[in-house]
């Protein structure tokens, strides 16, 4: 049974029905916005943005604080809806879709003004004698926000808070698989007193997302798969608008010979099963030196067997959010088994439960010939590869088209940092699962196919701005100018020789 299905519509628009992956009951139907509706949402957002941009940081922050008030009041509604839309566990729904959004919004309400403070100073070098420089972080205008289904609230509130605090308006195209949490979020922002049209939701599918990119927005903030990211990047290139692409991953975990094995095993389990494995920075590959391989695998198996999966959201590992992902997980598992992988726990769609459940799974004897180790699986699987030593682990960790995040486990923290620095990936944790996205001061973004640009914190919020330099000449009379002559050119050449031909002067001059 398809959880996301196109249905006939009387209005001629594309229409869809969504089902709960646990109860398999219908959650509701929606219709995709037309291209004209998307365009007019962007036009209305532009009007709202003009007034919003005139508000001080304190005034904008006040609206964000009120937003948190309503999020807290409506947290049960958020959890209930997210559970029905995704089938994730209740604990993860609260942690990821309520608590994380509160933390993200609070961060930008509190620090946004500091990150975007206007700076006034004299430039370096000789320019300092005649010029003053003012750098203003101007909002870009209307931001198009396109989001995926694995964190429907958190992956919206984070970019939304940054874009708004920077003075932009936002038109949001949520995932067609989780459209209703965006409706609730809109209700919450309305109740929090957001100015009309500052945040708007246009429902739809890929074609609606494509229409948003072409609707005259000033930036696209995109989170989703690599394949779609490429299309979005191309469309933004055509429109000459900036874009951040937060894409998929295939995160590696390196267990060093001196690691606390109990803790590392817990890290492999949590890193691979969190959010049913639908975590862009989920641990998808584990490399373990042969000297510690057996005890490590034993601990992972032991911990995995204790996890509960039940026909509700009150277990430890939730449902697979939609059937398309189940197909990918099953095909990666089938390919791995065909090529010699051994399943120690789980391994197959659990049909004894009525919903879409794939049990927490442990697989060994895997290698880089298998899809399971090369392509994003996005499922609850710990895949462990035995390696000669830590050097081989680093080599294999880097042998990937992806580079989103990763983690290293060792009791020698200096060694952990040194290995982390050699990993070709957007970020790395030592002795923890990938948590960079939850720490705004840490710029987050992927290398290689995992994305373009960095988000969050100072770097992220500034990405929603044009850094506008204003140069003010403070000299009493105009500098340089006409008429040119051979003499004036020779004078410049003399200056170049004197200053840049002199090892001391040229350092002072710049
Ligand atoms: P997806 O690429 O299928 O869809 C993402 C969004 O793009 C949806 O809203 C979709 O409707 C829209 N879209 C589809 N085609 C489009 C087009 N041509 N133009 C514009 N928009 C279009 O991704 P998904 O399956 O919803 O999400 C899962 C993926 O997201 C995984 O690969 C996961 O790793 C990744 N992800 C990355 C991060 C990160 O921060 N790097 C975070 C969460 C998820």
pLDDT of residue 202: 98
Q: Does 480 score more than 80 pLDDT?
A: no
Q: How far does the centroid of ligand 1 lie from the alpha carbon of residue 149, in Å?
A: 8
Active site residue 62: no
The dihedral region occupied by 318, where left means phi > 0, alpha psi between -120 and 50, and beta the remainder, is beta
What pLDDT, in 10s, does the model give residues 242-275?
A: 999 999 999 999 999 999 999 999 999 999 999 9
Residue 35 tokens, joined: 């291209």
What are the pLDDT digits (tens) for 275-289?
999 999 999 999 999
Q: How far is residue 28's CA from residue 22's CA, in Å, rounded to a whole number?
A: 15
pLDDT at residue 145 tops 80:
yes
Q: Check pLDDT > 90 for residue 481.
A: no
Closest residue (by CA) to atom 22 of ligand 1? 206
Rounded to whole angstroms, what are the CA distances from 206 to 173, 211, 224, 227, 271? Answer: 9, 9, 11, 12, 29
pLDDT at 332: 98
Give pLDDT tens digits for 181-239.
999 999 999 999 999 999 999 999 999 999 999 999 999 999 999 999 999 999 999 99
Q: What is the dihedral of CA 391, 396, 399, 400, to 10 degrees?
A: -140
Pocket perturbation via mutation, ligand 1, pick of 203, 221, 225, 447 by most ligand atoms within 8 A of CB = 225
Residue 133 has a pLDDT of 98
Answer for the pair 250, 374: CB distance below 8 angstroms, yes or no.
yes
Ligand 1: residue whose CA is nearest its atom 26: 148
Confidence of residue 508 (pLDDT cuts 50, 70, 90): confident
Three-state secondary structure readout of 282-351: CEEEEEEEHHHHHHHHHHHHHHHHCCCCCCCCCCCCCCCCCHHHHHHHHHHHHHHHHCCCEEEECCCCCC
Distance 148 CA to ligand 1 centre (A): 4
- Ligand 1 atom with the shortest distance to the CA of 451: 41
The answer, yes or no, to whether residue 126 has pLDDT greater than 90, is no
Q: Indicate which residue of 256, 280, 281, 313 is catalytic.
A: 280
CATH topology of domain 4-247+457-466: Aldehyde Dehydrogenase; Chain A, domain 1 (3.40.605)
Q: 112 falls in which pLDDT band (50, 70, 90)?
A: very high
Does the active-site annotation cover 280? yes
pLDDT at position 510: 86
Distance CA 326, CA 3 (A): 11
Name the fold adopted by 251-439: Aldehyde Dehydrogenase; Chain A, domain 2 (3.40.309)
Q: Which residue has its alpha carbon closest to ligand 1 atom 14?
A: 206
Q: What is the pTM of this model?
A: 0.97
Q: Choose the catalytic residue: 85, 97, 246, 390.
A: 246
Of all residues in the chain, the percent with pLDDT exceeding 90 is: 97
Residue 1 reports pLDDT greater than 90: no
**pLDDT at residue 479 tops 80:** no
Quote the mean pLDDT of the chain.
97
Query: What are the domain boundaries of the chain?
Result: 4-247+457-466, 251-439
CA–centroid distance, 232 to ligand 1, in Å, is: 10
Q: How far is the CA of 208 from the centre of ligand 1 (A)?
A: 13
| pLDDT tens column, 311-342 | 999 999 999 999 999 999 999 999 999 999 99
Q: Cα–Cα distances in Å, from 431 out to 158, 251, 263?
A: 25, 14, 8
Q: Which residues line ligand 1 (CB under 6 A)?
A: 146-151, 155, 173, 175-176, 205-206, 209-210, 213, 223-225, 228, 231-232, 246-249, 280, 376, 378, 404, 446, 451
Average pLDDT estimate for 460-489: 94
Separation of CA 227 and ligand 1 centre (Å):
9
Q: Over pLDDT 70: what percentage of the chain?
A: 100
């Amino acid at each position: 049974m398809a959880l996301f299905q196109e249905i006939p519509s009387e209005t001629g628009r594309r229409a869809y029905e969504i089902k709960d992956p646990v109860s398999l009951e219908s959650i509701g139907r929606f219709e995709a916005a037309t291209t004209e509706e998307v365009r007019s949402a962007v036009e209305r957002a532009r009007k709202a943005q003009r007034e919003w941009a005139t508000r001080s940081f304190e005034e904008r922050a006040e609206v964000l604080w009120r937003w948190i008030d309503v999020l807290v009041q409506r947290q049960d509604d958020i959890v209930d809806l997210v559970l029905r839309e995704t089938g994730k566990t209740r604990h993860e729904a609260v942690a990821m879709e309520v608590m994380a959004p509160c933390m993200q919004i609070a961060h930008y309400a509190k620090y946004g003004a500091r990150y975007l403070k206007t700076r006034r100073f004299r430039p370096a070098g000789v320019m300092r004698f005649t010029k003053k420089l003012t750098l203003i972080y101007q909002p870009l205008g209307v931001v198009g926000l396109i989001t995926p289904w694995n964190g429907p609230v958190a992956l919206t509130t984070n970019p939304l808070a940054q874009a708004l605090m920077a003075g932009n308006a936002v038109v949001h195209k949520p995932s067609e698989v989780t459209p209703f949490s965006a409706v609730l979020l809109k209700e919450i922002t309305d109740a929090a007193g957001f100015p009309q049209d500052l945040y708007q939701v246009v429902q739809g599918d890929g074609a609606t997302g494509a229409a948003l990119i072409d609707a005259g927005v000033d930036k696209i903030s995109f989170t989703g798969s690599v394949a779609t990211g490429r299309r979005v990047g191309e469309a933004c290139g055509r429109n000459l608008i900036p874009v951040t692409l937060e894409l998929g991953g295939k995160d590696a975990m390196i267990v060093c010979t001196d690691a606390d094995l109990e803790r590392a095993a817990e890290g492999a389990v949590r890193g691979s099963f969190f959010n049913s494995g639908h975590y862009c920075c989920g641990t998808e590959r584990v490399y373990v030196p042969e000297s510690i391989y057996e005890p490590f695998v034993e601990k992972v198996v032991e911990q995995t067997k204790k996890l509960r999966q039940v026909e509700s959201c009150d277990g430890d590992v939730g449902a697979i959010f939609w059937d398309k992902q189940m197909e990918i997980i099953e095909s990666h598992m089938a390919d791995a088994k065909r090529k010699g992988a051994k399943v120690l726990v789980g391994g197959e769609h659990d049909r004894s439960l009525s919903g879409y459940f794939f049990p927490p799974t442990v697989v060994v004897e895997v290698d880089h010939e298998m899809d399971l180790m090369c392509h994003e699986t996005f499922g609850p699987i710990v895949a462990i590869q035995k390696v000669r030593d830590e050097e081989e682990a680093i080599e294999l960790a880097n042998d990937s088209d992806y580079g989103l995040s990763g983690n290293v486990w060792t009791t020698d923290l200096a060694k952990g940092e040194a290995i982390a620095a050699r990993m070709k990936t957007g970020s790395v944790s030592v002795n923890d699962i990938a948590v960079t996205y939850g720490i705004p001061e840490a710029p987050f973004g992927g290398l290689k196919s995992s994305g373009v640009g960095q988000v969050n914190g100072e770097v992220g919020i500034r990405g929603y701005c044009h850094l506008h330099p204003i140069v003010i000449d403070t000299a009493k009379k105009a500098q340089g100018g006409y008429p040119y002559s051979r003499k004036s050119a020779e004078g410049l050449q003399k200056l170049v020789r004197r200053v840049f031909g002199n090892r001391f002067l040229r350092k002072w001059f710049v």
